[in-house]
Structure 1
Amino acid sequence: MSGRARGVILTGTGVLVLSPDSILIRLLDTDIATTLFWRGVALAVGLACYLLWRERGDARPIFKALRSPLGWGLGVLFALSNILFVFTIAHTTIADTLGCLATASIFAALFSVVFLGERAPLRTWLTAAVIAAGLLMIALGGAGSLIGRFAGIATAMVFGAMFVVMRATGQGDTLPGLALGGLIIATATAFFAQPFSLAGPGIAALAGIAISLPLAFALIGRGPRYLPAPEVSLLMLLETVFGTLWAGLFLSEIPTQATLTAITIILGALVVFYWRQAVVHARAARHSRQVTI
């Protein structure tokens, strides 16, 4: 199997495993603090167990990755993004939430210009303008509360900032930072949560979260080793498609016409953007090979 095929399988499988996340949060049927507490525990314990297995029981590489400011920054941003995500799910529809989250990669591109000094071509700004129009449609025409829809946009912005921190780490290991984020979530909500209040269906949903979240992020975290960032970002858009589909099938949660139109606009703009970016990178690679020859 080629490296690219392996990257597509790992990332695609991770996104598919992650796609029911929103409906599992709904099926927990409990308050936000309790949801976040168990979510944090699942992330911290699951990722820690995976990291210890990967390192064959040696915890030193894990603590080394956490000693850097970037590791802590990633943990804090990951915790904040999850808190905003759960708040958004509680206050608006899953389709609105995932439509907003689909824009995280373009926020990452814009933040890279501001904080990393990278230059953005005209297509980035044009894509950002189209996506802004889509987000405005969700904000004004979506379901649920207005604060929930704006929280969804804030979630996408924090995820975008998290991607910039990941980019700043270079080839560094980001999974310890994500595990730290889970620990921060669990610690911050432990006092307010009622962890033993879950009923039968909620316990089943919790089991699904405990298995799917660590597995999904472990798989997605390996994708960039084999695929360029644009292709990883493109595969991540599958969560919006499948998450909205699962919400309609299992929760009968049908998005508004404005949300469906906005999601179509956002996904279309991002597909064109990443397709064009892949073409530019391919041309640059061919030119580099020709120069070398």
Structure 2
Amino acid sequence: MALQDRLTNVHGGLIALLGVLILSPDALLLRLIGADDFTTAFWRLGFLTIALLLVALWNGAKRGEGIVQSIRPSGYEMLTGLFYGGTCTLFMFSVRNTDAANTLIIIAATPLLAGLIGVFVFKLSQPIRTWIASIVVFVALLSLFSAGFGGENALGDMLALGASLCMAGYFNVLGAKPEVDALKGMLFGAFVVTLILLPGAAPLSPVGLDWVWLLMLGFWVLPVSFLLIAYASRKIPAAEVSL
């Protein structure tokens, strides 16, 4: 591997790591919110939509684009957005319906899923080190916490698997299609899912610190972390970003 490629991989890995560090309080903050699941998901993604919209309009203004041009997604950006919206929503419902450890263990399967999707759908090769590391991490975590799966946690576990599949798809589309604007995709996905969640939500039910945690998630944790991770997906394979 050429020096330039090594530097690119290191840079991409560090950016992904920073994104993950910012994302890490997500599960804890979700547990602190007292509102029901649909209301929590609605405001979490609603605030995210506002944050992404402001950034998209600001970027568009710098490029001399109009409002519609700044936010209108292409076909692949819509696909990216659906994967992203699915990831955010299914992860939240999983954390609220199973042990947080279960959710994180199942999410640990994302590198394997991303590698398989990359190979069989996008025809992308994966370094052997990535396969080995992905398998070792997943098996190690599974062996530690496997006793808590199934039973009353079954719904949350299945939702976590859905989140893992969506996340793997999200990383692969970004890696395989350099022309995709991650910001437009994320905005589309967050907006669509917010509309879907509205009928089941009670928007005025959050109280007190619930609003603080929701604002923190929507305006900082989710947008900043996933934009950094999206950038990293341009530098290193999807399976490595997931790992």
Q: TM-score range by the shorter chain?
A: 0.7 to 0.9
Which residue of 61, 64, 70 corresponds with 1:62?
70
Aligned length: 231
For 1:1-293, what aligned pairs fall within 5 Å after superposition? 10-56=15-61, 58=65, 59=67, 61-64=69-72, 66=73, 68-119=74-125, 133=139, 137=143, 140-142=146-148, 145-212=153-220, 213-224=222-233, 227-229=235-237, 233=241
**How large is the Cα RMSD of the aligned pairs?**
3.1
Q: Which letter does structure 1 place at the counterpart of 2:104? A: L
User: Given the superposition, is the C-alpha separation of residues 135 and 16 from structure 1 closer, same or farther in structure 2, using an over 3 Å criterion?
Assistant: closer
Structure 1 residue 231, shift from structure 2 partner: 9.5
Shifted more, 49-58 versus 89-98: the winner is 49-58
Structure 1 residue 62, shift from structure 2 partner: 3.2
Q: Is the 8 A contact 1:42 1:214 kept in 2?
A: no
Structure 1 residue 60, shift from structure 2 partner: 5.2
User: Given the superposition, is the C-alpha separation of residues 232 and 116 from structure 1 closer, same or farther in structure 2, using an over 3 Å criterion?
Assistant: closer
Structure 1 residue 230, shift from structure 2 partner: 6.8
User: Given the superposition, is the C-alpha separation of residues 4 and 52 from structure 1 closer, same or farther in structure 2, using an over 3 Å criterion?
Assistant: farther
User: Given the superposition, is the C-alpha separation of residues 3 and 153 from structure 1 closer, same or farther in structure 2, using an over 3 Å criterion?
Assistant: closer
Q: C-alpha distance in 1, partners of 2:190/2:56?
A: 14
TM-score if structure 1 supplies the norm length? 0.67
Q: Is the 8 A contact 1:36 1:189 kept in 2?
A: yes
- Counterpart in the other structure of 1:289: none
Indicate the percent of aligned positions where both proteins have the same amino acid: 27
SS of 1:85's equivalent in the other structure is helix
Structure 1 residue 194, shift from structure 2 partner: 0.5
TM-score if structure 2 supplies the norm length? 0.79
Structure 1 residue 169, shift from structure 2 partner: 1.8
SS of 1:190's equivalent in the other structure is helix
SS of 2:61's equivalent in the other structure is coil
Q: C-alpha distance in 1, partners of 2:211/2:137?
A: 38
User: Given the superposition, is the C-alpha separation of residues 154 and 230 from structure 1 closer, same or farther in structure 2, using an over 3 Å criterion?
Assistant: closer
Q: C-alpha distance in 2, partners of 1:125/1:7?
A: 18
Deviations 1:190-226 (A, max 9, x none): 111011101112112112112222222233333345x
Structure 1 residue 107, shift from structure 2 partner: 0.7
Q: C-alpha distance in 2, partners of 1:60/1:45?
A: 15
Q: Is the 8 A contact 2:112 2:239 kept in 1?
A: no
Q: C-alpha distance in 2, partners of 1:79/1:224?
A: 17
Shifted more, 93-102 versus 18-27: the winner is 93-102
Q: Is the 8 A contact 2:33 2:213 kept in 1?
A: yes
